[in-house]
Structure 1
Amino acid sequence: MFHFSNIVRTKGDPKIVESGPSLKRPEDQLARALGWFSIGLGVVEFFAPRRVTETLGMEGHETLVRAFGVREILSGIMSLSVDKNAGLWARVGGDGLDAAALLSGLTSDNPRKGNIALALLMVGGIAMLDYRAAQDTKPRRPPRDARRKLYPNRSGFPKGIESARSKARQIPSHAAAGQS
């Protein structure tokens, strides 16, 4: 069976014969998806802020949209990192900022109020996903009353070190030297 990952291996590396299911938990996959979404949205906001403001009828706020783009990119990168929980909470906070900025554009003289209402619905939906992902990826701590497990008397040998030594003594010396 061909595995793509074998292409990047050097001659002495072991070959991958079979791979199993992903070790990523569903909450890690959601965090990853939200991280990439955040980076994509941030790139659009940073590089095309006028397009965003025109769509929302909020011309003149391009600098704010560009700043929000930087925030999105940074929180997306954090959401893809080892400390994804901090990135996800940054996204939750950003959702609040996005909603506040959108609400400021929901005025009677804005001809694009419908677009703002749709954007608010989208922000609300994404905010629920962000909050759930942040809750699901928070660091797990043992309960305060949990006893810490200590293993000072364990050797790593299931039957004890003496059993391993006696088995080693039973190996003929010529077999240990690699001779037959």
Structure 2
Amino acid sequence: MRYEGPRSPRRGHPDTATDALARGLGWFSIGLGLAEILAGGAIARALGMRGQEGLVRAYGVREVATGVGIVTAEDPTPWIWGRIAGDALDLATLAAAYDGNGRKDNLLIAAAAVAGVTALDAICADRLTRSTAVPMPHIGNYRTRTGYPRGIRESRGAATDVEGSEGMLTPALLKPWAA
């Protein structure tokens, strides 16, 4: 489905290939999340993670929410970065399940698949971030400024010329210890 009309380019940046990649990752996220929610038990068994069905389903809810955010947002950049954070969580969970796992081959295949999708997420996030970044305005060159309106020489000793400056130099409570 192409997005045409007044909202095109839909995301507010000129790179439609990156926009299409982001939308594709969003739909992938929705599909993967639905699979994790509906078949969390089967996925957990296939990965040798019995007893972790609830965790797999919770990760599915996260995937669906992130996917919907990507597909519906005008700027999907933060949602794509959210996918990367979710991928890191997925990889950490798979790594934690590795020791003593009878299905290590399946676990390694899943980790490789997540790592591949993470690479796509990172490419997309980088391109989106670069295309939507607002450059910092020029703030001027203040290298020759000193911060002293009348110059450094005029400012030396200025605090001692103020009436009643004795209390300014050393507070009464500190006078017994002043040198």
Q: TM-score, normalised by structure 1?
A: 0.65
Instruction: Tell me if 1:140 matches 2:133.
Output: yes
**Greater helix share, structure number:** 2
Letter in 2 for 1:82: E
| 1:122-143 deviations in Å (ceiling 9; x for gaps) | 1111111111111111222134
2:169 aligns to what? Answer: none
**How many residues in Structure 1 have an aligned counterpart in Structure 2?**
127
Q: Which residue of 2 aligns with 1:65?
A: 56
Q: Between the two proteins, what is the percent identity of the paired residues?
A: 40
Q: Using the alignment, how far apart are the partners of 1:101 and 1:116 within structure 2?
A: 10
In terms of Rg, which structure is larger? Answer: 2
Report if the CA contact (8 A) 1:41-1:72 is conserved: yes
Aligned residue identity for 1:131: A
Q: Deviations over 1:100-150 (max 9, x none)?
A: 110111123x2210010111111111111111111111222134229xxxx
Name the CA distance, whole Å, in 1 between partners of 2:111 and 2:137. Answer: 41
What is the CA–CA distance in structure 2 between the aligned matches of 1:71 and 1:140, rounded to whole Å?
A: 27
Q: Which has the higher contact order (CA 8 A, sep 6+)?
A: 2
CA distance in 1 between partners of 2:108 and 2:135 (Å):
43
Q: Which runs of 5+ in 1 are unaligned?
A: 1-21, 147-180
2:77 equivalent in structure 1: 85
Quote the residue 2:109 is aligned against: 118
Which residue pairs with 2:148 in the alignment? none
User: What SS class does the counterpart of residue 50 from structure 2 fall into?
Assistant: coil
Conservation of the 8 A alpha-carbon contact between 1:46 and 1:66: yes
Provide the alpha-carbon RMSD of the alignment: 2.3
Q: Name the SS for the 2:135 alignment partner.
A: coil
In structure 2, what is the equivalent of residue 38 of structure 1? 29
Give the TM-score normalised by structure 2.
0.65
1:78–1:86 contact (8 Å) kept in structure 2: no
* In 2, Cα distance between equivalents of 1:142 and 1:104: 41
Contact 1:77–1:87 under 8 Å retained in 2: no
